[in-house]
Chains A and B, each alone.
Chain A
Amino acid sequence: DARVTQTPRHKVTEMGQEVTMRCQPILGHNTVFWYRQTMMQGLELLAYFRNRAPLDDSGMPKDRFSAEMPDATLATLKIQPSEPRDSAVYFCASGLTPLGRGRSSNSPLHFGNGTRLTVT
């Protein structure tokens, strides 16, 4: 089965350190998303790419977070410097979003298993 792969599964780091999370989307999917999940806020969209172009990163703190897709098989989310309030589970998801006609058709998101980040 094709699946979204995220690394690392767990990361514990000290405040101020850089954190890099990686995601390999499903081959052929044209959209990639980064979500953050916490008990208080639920699933929050951080960034969104279509055909590797960033479309929406309004949910991401720009001063410390950055998201890139260096190629179609790799998406990265970096936090520098990390802070304790960044502790959360970070999910990458990919999908196939139809363009133009037929946009009402369903294109479910496929989530990776997440990176559980703890910043002390």
Chain B
Amino acid sequence: GQSLEQPSEVTAVEGAIVQINCTYQTSGFYGLSWYQQHDGGAPTFLSYNALDGLEETGRFSSFLSRSDSYGYLLLQELQMKDSASYFCAVRPNSGNTPLVFGKGTRLSVIA
């Protein structure tokens, strides 16, 4: 089976850096994805790590360490519009199971 753990809530100050962690227990997977969801909106894809290491996309970076069963999403130069929920997800490499999502971390950016 697969399970992903994320903090339920994080609060950070505008302009600061915040890291949202994701630890997982899974028998095997292709990669770790991150999705963003604003209140009342749909989840949207942010980033994907197939290999260990850091992937950077503008102000957002994502990291994966398979040996530690751990990944994180790093948001820099926080803006108020970054207030949203962030979900990590894995796609198992066995069977037909598609993406499995964590329960999400609600990020609140304050002035």
Closest CB-CB distance, A91 to chain B, in whole Å? 6
Q: Tally B residues with Cβ within 8 Å of A.
A: 22
Closest CB-CB distance, B99 to chain A, in whole Å? 6
Contacts of B87 in A (CB 8 A): 42-43
The verdict on A113 contacting B103 (CB below 8 Å), with A106-B31, A106-B50 known, is: no
Q: Which residue of B lies closest to A6 (CB)?
A: B42
The verdict on A91 contacting B30 (CB below 8 Å), with A45-B98, A48-B96, A103-B93 known, is: no
A105–B44 Cα distance when bound, in Å, is 18
SS class, residues of chain A in contact with chain B:
strand
Closest CB-CB distance, A38 to chain B, in whole Å? 10
Q: Which residue of B lies closest to A109 (CB)?
A: B99
| In the complex, chain B residues 59-111 whose Cβ is within 8 Å of any chain A Cβ | 87, 93, 96-104
Contact of A104 among B35, B42, B50, B102 (CB under 8 A): B50
The verdict on A91 contacting B103 (CB below 8 Å), with A33-B98, A103-B93, A108-B33 known, is: no
Q: Tally A residues with Cβ within 8 Å of B.
A: 25
Contact of B43 among A50, A91, A105, A106 (CB under 8 A): A91
Inter-subunit contact A43/B43 (CB<8 Å): yes
| Interface check B1, CB cutoff 8 A | no
Inter-subunit contact B98/A113 (CB<8 Å): no
| Interface check A55, CB cutoff 8 A | yes
A97–B99 Cα distance when bound, in Å, is 11
Task: List 14 A-B residue pairs with CB atoms under 8 Å apart, sorted by A's residue number.
Answer: A41-B103, A42-B87, A43-B104, A45-B97, A50-B96, A91-B43, A103-B30, A104-B30, A104-B50, A106-B31, A106-B50, A109-B43, A109-B99, A113-B41
4 additional contacts, CB 8 Å, given A97-B98, A106-B33? A33-B98, A41-B103, A45-B100, A56-B96
